[in-house]
Chain A
């Protein structure tokens, strides 16, 4: 068929990019016999190339670009390498250098070394390009892509240790009782040290009445220096240095502050707190509960119900809103902004700037565990951070706990499953009952994802009394809206199978109504969810 086509048709196919191997072979044969056709094809191809170049954006020539072209043409290889390493070379300079390098391959190694050294210098000089920033960005990217990939946790746990060690070596905030005086940048040092010394002097004049109570602490809490909570948990005004562990303080206003060591902070008589260094998470369910919270570089002007402060860097402090809305200012009071739920901002106080950063609340994992109102007695349990959405991803035999709604008033008709206290019983069909409480509730969603483990056992003790448990698929579905859950349909037959399995899964609510024991069969593709409602007040 191709043999019957004219030379004109074959040429047209060639110019349109449609010519196959057979057509090209035919055209080549005909060119051999027809010089005029050969010239015609050459002319058309040359013109096509001119068109291609003319249509490329870089082909736009201006007076400036001609000057740059002339200038770059006269530069030696070393000068061109300088231009490229300077950071903003023109396209002409890059292309010119490429030409030099093809002619002089020995210079390629020189350029590579220069570029690599330039990159390392940038990493060493700019905090924004340092290891912590790089890893944080990588984690955020992983978080954004997977939302819950365990890589983040593995990474975080290892990295936190490393950074803490490095901080201990080089970046320690200079406290009078600290063992290490670090080589800090002048601005940060003056700021932090000055603020601290002033606070230290003030604290000496203040009395010894407790201004807050230590309500919770992890097992590994170690205090440093001459001030620590008393045996009854009383916390006097003054500066505290927490070497390790996590603690939770409750203020007379009802506000709570959890701090993870290594950290240094101050509490004052007026119920305010200042975080010099470390990670802290503050909760205020109502504006009346708010703590007057400050940190190095940051003043929390309007406290969101749950706000986190990450003050581990010597140059900046990050603030995260994990729930509700709020507002913060830099310490100068002049630079302020509103912060909404799941937003984060970095206060760069060496430059007086507030910069938006991605919301990645990983730093608050441990402080959040203390504030979540859940205590684990048995089993592999993960308390998920606010903003983490339940997914159907395979689990690792663990119970994931989501705080769905920190505080809400149940609408009428909220129905829960019957679960008599004190009996370890297999889940079965039951008639359910309407919830009786009229106070404020908190809703937790417990989830066990599909995994290879045949059964999962866990025991969770809640800070507040459990007033309702929902484990049947239909009641989970119908209560989503009432509890203000952000639960999405996870696809497939999710809405029918999200509950526990009758006959095989077992639950036990303790006599005091605070501890829930679970024994779930989780093998295969099953997804098990349980909603737990506790009475907050």
Chain B
């Protein structure tokens, strides 16, 4: 997986895991936003975004999450970020989004939040 690629993996019928590469920035933000939007249209209610590899998060990357999260919350779901690095978390804090977005330390904790037994 290169810097901008990401992997889409269905965990259940309504939970989708997106594993990001090294960055979520202007190069791939639109593709991530589109993937999340398509997942919503396909009936997924929870998206888990695994950011373990992400060392650079730009404003466009933030936009791909913030611009789509409400679609899921309106249906009782959510977008859950996990394995967020200190630098990515810093960007979210600067934008006052660390409390607004749902952030979990690990994928397993994110899965639990979606009702998946680990």
Do A and B truly interact? Answer: no
Show the binding face of A for B, using Cβ within 8 Å.
none
